[in-house]
């Protein structure tokens, strides 16, 4: 998603909804710059959440990232944390944020290029799963999605669910 497309989401109007689920994100490499990355992972995420809130949504589920922290020295995790903080101010009665580690899943069928470094990291994560702390082990995208849907349905208030908590669902 380009910065231009992300910017056009500020004019998006959602139909009446109860729940909003956001699993939107990119990489700095794919986006092409820090500004373009921020346009997707912060601006577009907020635009979608605002549109959902205006359309009546009271519950929001967000796929964020392990280590998200608005005060992080690392740009990627800082932007993710800033998005989480901004979403918490929108007045949803339920906000569930899941912070997965490396996502395991079929990317090529989604039109995404293979990522050699990621394949190596996922392989190592699987081989060393007995030694790597649960929060840093790879996790399937299906498990993350299932957790988010289940938790948004039953939670009230603001909740952050780390990758390790999703591992055995």
- The pLDDT, as a whole number, for residue 159 is 98
Rounded to whole angstroms, the Cα distance separating 111 from 128 reads 29
Judge residue 102's burial from the number of C-beta atoms within 10 Å of its C-beta, 0-12 exposed, 13-18 middle, 19 or more buried. middle
Residue 147 lies in a domain: yes
Place of tokens 């990317």: 107
**Residue 120 Cα distances to 6, 117, 125, 159, angstroms:** 31, 5, 8, 31
Rounded to whole angstroms, the Cα distance separating 90 from 88 reads 6
pLDDT for 123 beyond 80:
no
CATH of the domain at 28: 3.40.50.720
Residue 61 lies in a domain: yes
Rounded to whole angstroms, the Cα distance separating 7 from 164 reads 34
Q: How many domains does the chain have?
A: 1
Average the pLDDT over each of 71-75, 89-93, 140-144 and give the range with the smallest value: 140-144
- The pLDDT, as a whole number, for residue 1 is 46
pLDDT for 23 beyond 70:
yes
For the chain, helix, strand, coil in percent to 5 are 50, 15, 35
pLDDT, one tens digit per residue, over 29-52 is 889 999 999 999 999 999 999 999
Residue 169 lies in a domain: no
Domain range enclosing 83: 3-8+15-164
Residue 88 lies in a domain: yes
pLDDT, one tens digit per residue, over 54-63 is 999 999 999 9
pLDDT band of residue 134 (cuts 50, 70, 90) is: confident
pLDDT, one tens digit per residue, over 97-110 is 999 998 876 655 55
Residue 137 lies in a domain: yes
């Amino acid at each position: 998603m380009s910065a231009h497309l992300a910017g056009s989401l500020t004019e998006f109007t959602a139909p009446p909804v109860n729940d909003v689920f956001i699993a939107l994100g990119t990489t700095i490499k794919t986006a092409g710059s820090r500004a373009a990355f921020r346009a997707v992972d912060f601006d577009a995420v907020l635009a979608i959440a605002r549109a959902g809130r205006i359309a009546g949504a009271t519950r929001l589920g967000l796929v964020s990232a392990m280590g998200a922290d608005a005060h992080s020295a690392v740009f990627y995790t800082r932007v993710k944390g800033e998005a989480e903080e901004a979403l918490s101010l929108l007045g949803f009665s339920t906000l569930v944020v899941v912070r997965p580690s490396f996502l395991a899943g079929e990317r090529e069928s989604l039109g995404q290029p293979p990522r050699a470094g990621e394949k190596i990291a996922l392989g190592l994560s699987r081989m060393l799963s007995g030694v790597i702390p649960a929060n840093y082990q790879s996790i399937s995208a299906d498990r993350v999605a299932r957790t988010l849907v289940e938790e948004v349905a039953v939670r009230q208030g603001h909740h952050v669910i780390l990758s390790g908590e999703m591992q055995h669902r």
